[in-house]
Structure formats: structure tokens, C-alpha cells
Amino acid sequence: MKSHILIPLIAQAAFAGILAPRNTSYACNNSPELCSRSYSNITQLGAHDSPFLTTTNSDVLSISDAGNQNINSTAQLTAGVRLLTAQVHNNNGSWDLCHTSCSLLNAGTLSTWLSQIKAWMDANPYDVVTILLVNSDNASAEDLNSQFEAANITSYAYQPPSTTTPLDTWPTLQELILNSTRLVTFVASLDPTSNTVAPYLLDEFTFVFENPYNVTSLSNFSCTADRPPAVQGQTATAISSGRLPLVNHFLDESIGLGIDIPNTGNITTTNGLTGTGSLGQAASDCSAAYGKAPAFLLVDFFDEGSTLSVVNSLNGISASVVGQTQPSATAISNAAVRRAGGSQFQLGSGSSGWLMVAIIAWHLHSI
């Protein structure tokens, strides 16, 4: 065998060796125990509306309660989050990450956000990352692909053998890492039959089903399949279809006029280990309902409560896993102060028009 062929094979074998299960020096998604596990046989912690941070837009409204996370997406990844979700909107020809309305909260362009994720993945070669984009303004595969190419992140993209049916078998984390296909991207929604330019952009509801997400009472969380419509109310059918279960577990509260905002007052309960409405209880209930642990747990303010502990428990790994770095108490505290100081809408100039925007936007609040 020629030397130029032999050397890559030796390197690949060595790389496979260091990623072997139970190796104590290297970890896949924070644990050596996960390396040999299928992508469909792990639970990933998800940051709901990942780029939308608690903030104040002084030009329009004081909307500190509009954010769903305390710290940015790369800090989320460092802490142990592996699913990042965001809403994509057409903002006068620019594909931006906006919280329901670009007039309320705009986190910048999709390509800029993806570039940040790409830099994190470059620096963390043993991690598989999942992105879920809510396609709010029906961007085409070409539109989205241009953003991924601008971020130079397509080299990491995983493309399954079929993009039109759920997979019977997903690769293991180790296989995804070895093949440098460490980025799985779902889009809600994108017609897979017309997507020929970027087949790595996977229609979410071909591969995933979700429980209800518009919850305003701790006692109303449910594991019942809600989306896509084909399996609505038919949890057993959703499971037998091969779709991956995504559990939405974030609590909203109504402030009147049809406006719902994230419920921060109960966040430690919602993200807690035990009790009515807790993430731990939802994880237990949904695991029983599905006959297996959920593939994704999606939460607000992931760094408050016990979200990492719940996910580690579902994955059967210890709290001392490699790589998880809990965000600082200062970051969480500062975010809590910002929320407390701006919990009411405060109207600025031209307030009547912006109030109508706010009413409509929050009424349409979605993932």
C-alpha cells in the first residue's frame, strides 16, 4: 500500500482509539459513555430560542422579559447544551434571528450566529451539535444554504441516507465525529421533496415530533404528540413512525391582551428535579409514555434549575462528566436583575403603534 494512503488510515484508526467508549481522557458530547451511543439513543439539552437573551430595547419597548436565555449560544454549548433553537425572519431582505418580530428583538443575521457556532465547533472537535430553525417567513433551502455557506459551517453538516422518511438507524456520536459530520440541522418547516440544493437541511417534522408548547400552568405539561399534524394526539403512532421525541418544557404567563411571556417567577420549579411541572417529572412521564427517553428536552433559562442533572440522569452519566462548565452565578444574577427591572412594557415615542406590534407579536408567540 502506498504511504500516502496508509498514513490517513493509521491516523483514522488512532482517532477511533481515543474515542473508544469508556475512555477516560476523551468524551463525546461531554462523556466517554456516549461515544458508542446512537444519536437517537441520547437525550440532548436544548436552549429554547437560544440567541434571544434577556435584554432591553430602549428605542421601542422595555422588553427584558422577551428573552428566553441568560447567556449566549456559545456559552450555552460550553455549559452542556447541545440543541440550539432559533427563529429565522426575512427582515427587509436580510435573514435575521428575531423573536417573533424583528421590531421587538433582533439577534442579528443567521450567518453571524452560525459563524459563532462554527468557531465553537472548531475548538471542540468531540462534540455533536444540533440546530433547529423555526422558518418563520418560509425561507427556501437556497436562502438558508446561503447563510450556512457564508458561515463556512456546511463542512460539518450531516446528511442522512434519506431526507424524506425517518431513519431506522442513526449514526453513533463517534461515527459522526470521525466523519466530521457533527452538525445536525432541522428546519421547521422545509419541503424535503423540493430541497435538492442543501439536503443537509432536514425538515424537522419528517424526523421529529413534539409535545404541546403553549403551556401557562405547571399542571398542564403533556407528553402527547402535538406536531406534526399527521401524528397529533397519536403518541404511539409518532413513536412507531421512527420520529425523535422533542419535549417542549417551558412555561409562559399571560399579561393580558392575548400576550404571553416567559414565566420567570417559576423557573426553578419548571427546570427542577421533582414536583408538579418540573423538568424531572416531565422527563420521567415522557420516558414512560414513549418507551424510551426523549431525544431532546427544550427549556428556557437552561442555567437556572437542574436541567443538566436531569439530562445527565436520562443519559446515565454522572455529574462529573467531562466538559460541562456551569455558567457563573454572576451572569445568572445579572439577568435576574434585568428581568426584575423591566417586567412591564414601557412605551416610548410612537408608543401606540409599537404596542399594537407587541400585542400581535406576543399573541403569535411560538418556538
CB atoms within 10 A of CB 257: 11
Q: Which residue has the cell 438558508?
A: 144
Catalytic residue among 89, 99, 249, 365: 99
Query: Which grid cell is 121?
Result: 465547533
Task: Return the CA Rg of the chain.
Answer: 20
CB atoms within 10 A of CB 169: 12
Query: Which grid cell is 6?
Result: 496508509
Q: Is 363 a catalytic residue?
A: no
How far is residue 293's CA from residue 269's CA, in Å, rounded to a whole number?
Answer: 21
Amino acid identity, residue 351? S
Amino acid identity, residue 94? S
Query: Which grid cell is 241?
Result: 413512525
How far is residue 224's CA from residue 232's CA, in Å, rounded to a whole number?
Answer: 8
Peptide bond into 245 cis (omega under 30): no
How far is residue 60's CA from residue 39's CA, in Å, rounded to a whole number?
Answer: 42
Which of 299, 293, 282, 298 has the alpha carbon at shortest distance from 244? 293
Q: Is 48 a catalytic residue?
A: yes
Catalytic residue among 48, 89, 249, 365: 48
Q: Which residue has the cell 459522526?
A: 176
Catalytic residue numbers read 48, 99
